[in-house]
Amino acid sequence: SAVISQKPSRDICQRGTSLTIQCQVDSQVTMMFWYRQQPGQSLTLIATANQGSEATYESGFVIDKFPISRPNLTFSTLTVSNMSPEDSSIYLCSVEDTGGYTFGSGTRLTVV
Which residues contact other proteins by CB under 8 A?
A: 1, 4, 6, 30-31, 33, 41-45, 48, 58, 92, 96, 99-106, 108
When the beta carbons of 75 and 103 are compared against other proteins, the nearer one is 103
When the beta carbons of 65 and 108 are compared against other proteins, the nearer one is 108
When the beta carbons of 80 and 95 are compared against other proteins, the nearer one is 95
Minimum distance from residue 82 beta carbon to other proteins (Å)? 25
When the beta carbons of 42 and 53 are compared against other proteins, the nearer one is 42
Minimum distance from residue 16 beta carbon to other proteins (Å)? 27
Three-state SS for the chain is CCCEEEECCEEEECCCCCEEEEEEECCCCCEEEEEEECCCCCEEEEEEEECCCCCEECCCCCCCCCCEEEEECCEEEEEECCCCHHHCEEEEEEEEECCEEEECCCEEEEEC
Minimum distance from residue 103 beta carbon to other proteins (Å)? 4
